Amino acid sequence: MTKVLVIEDDDRIRTSLVLALEDEGYAASGVPSAEEGLAAQRSQQADTILVDLMLPGVDGFECIRQLRRTDDVPIVVISARDDTHDIVAALEAGADDYLVKPVAVKELTARLRALRRRSLAGLAPVTALVFDDLEVLPEAGEVRRRGTQIPVTRTEFHLLCELAEHAGRVLSRQQLLERVWDYAVGDERLVDVHIGRLRQKIEDDPSAPRYVVTVRGLGYKLQR
């Protein structure tokens, strides 16, 4: 059974989310603070984490950053804050997705199923995809640059694999949403922010990328 941890300080919202997720067949639990959430994840290892941004003490942004230092668990932000700056900041901190409150349970569970399918999906049986000094190893789940392994999140890895397997071809944001996030409809900012995070890790100069380039008006491609 898929385990979901809800980090939400509002007792009513936290309880309703936990009960709704249990009704949908998840093993859900909730905590009211980032500190308790971080401790719970260390001891229980949830499969997915839902995080509110407006938490007492350590806020949601810092909670995500701390989780990402040691864990590639899928993280979905659920927040009343719908400003573009907040959404981008949460994704840049390491979240995989962002939903604005109030959240429809069916939409939330659809997103969770998509994240779960992506985490369980087998990658193409390719030993290595090599682009000069960048290596993508789908079977090993690794990215290497000049022989050194680069730490990437699960979402960043799937995104890079998708680009690498279609190297030289432009993939639109919508195509990447469908292939990487498994969303028929979604916020294209998810793609842009994760591309930016990926560039920070694999490019010598992220502002002038050598590998993952933007094709204006069309999308992104990985250059050979």
How does pLDDT run across 36-79, given as a tens digit for each residue? 999 999 998 999 999 999 999 999 999 999 999 988 889 999 99
**What residues does CATH 3.40.50.2300 cover in the chain?**
3-120
pLDDT tens profile 10-31: 999 999 999 999 999 999 999 9
Helix (H, G, I), strand (E, B) or coil at 195: helix
Predicted TM-score (pTM) of this structure: 0.76
Q: How far apart are CA 62 and CA 59, in angstroms?
A: 6
Measured at the CA of 119, the angle between CA 90 and CA 160, to 5 degrees, comes to: 70
Percent of the chain with pLDDT over 70: 95
As a CATH number, domain 129-222 is 1.10.10.10
- What is the reported pLDDT for 125? 52
pLDDT tens profile 87-105: 889 998 999 999 999 888 8
| Average of per-residue pLDDT across 134-150 | 89
In this structure, how many other beta carbons lie within 10 angstroms of the beta carbon of residue 27?
14
CATH class of this structure's domain 3-120:
alpha beta
Question: Given CA atoms 7, 13, 15, 16 in this order, what sign does their dihedral have?
Answer: negative
Residue 119 has pLDDT above 70, yes or no: no
Question: Given CA atoms 55, 48, 80, 62 in this order, what sign does their dihedral have?
Answer: positive
- Of 98, 113, 109, 102, whose CA–CA distance to 22 is shortest? 109
pLDDT tens profile 144-195: 998 899 988 888 999 999 999 999 999 999 999 999 888 876 788 899 999 9
Six-digit token pair at 198? 């990926």
- For 45-77, b/e burial (b = at least 16 CB within 10 A) is ebbbbbbbbebeeeebbebbebbbeebbbbbbb
- What is the reported pLDDT for 52? 97
Look over the chain and give the mean of its residue pLDDT values, rounded to a whole number: 90
**What residues does CATH 1.10.10.10 cover in the chain?**
129-222
* Nearest-10 Cα torsion for 74, 78, 83, 88: -10
- What is the reported pLDDT for 160? 94
Confidence of residue 126 (pLDDT cuts 50, 70, 90): low
Q: How far apart are CA 223 and CA 209, in angstroms?
A: 10
